[in-house]
Amino acid sequence: MNATAVNILLIEDNPGDVRLVRTMLETSKNPSFEVQHAKTLRSGLDRLKSKRADVVLLDLGLPDQTGFDTFFDMLAYTNGIPIIILTGSDLRPLVESSLRDHAAAFLDKFDLNEERLVKAIRRAIAHKPRRVHDA
């Protein structure tokens, strides 16, 4: 593991989307990324107990939970870790208007590329809110 790598927790149940995100992040060198993966919200929350994450990439349609509650449950648990929502084109306007003040970014899975993904992660880290224990 690279000591200077950005630690990403990807919570996504679609194997194709997981491969796509991993492939995009593997080629980045500035910064480099360490990607941990969870298929369900519960396993993602459990992963955060044992492994620090700098950013969470969150799908809102998971086997154990879907919709806005997925995001709000993650938000309550992360204590300031930026959350980037990965969503489909048809949901993006609704998701953006509902979660604008809380999510670090919204990325359309159907329009995702390495440049957009890396830029969103960099921006999320640069503008992340202070954690409660940092105050």
For 117-128, what is the mean pLDDT?
A: 89
pLDDT band at 130 (very low <50, low <70, confident <90, very high): very low
- Domains of the chain with bracketed CATH: 14-127 (3.40.50.2300)
For 23-42, what is the mean pLDDT?
A: 90
pLDDT at 88: 72
Residue 97 has pLDDT above 70, yes or no: no
C-alpha span between 51 and 100 (Å, rounded): 27
pLDDT at 133: 34
Task: Express each pLDDT in 48-78 by its tens digit.
Answer: 998 889 999 999 889 999 888 888 899 888 8
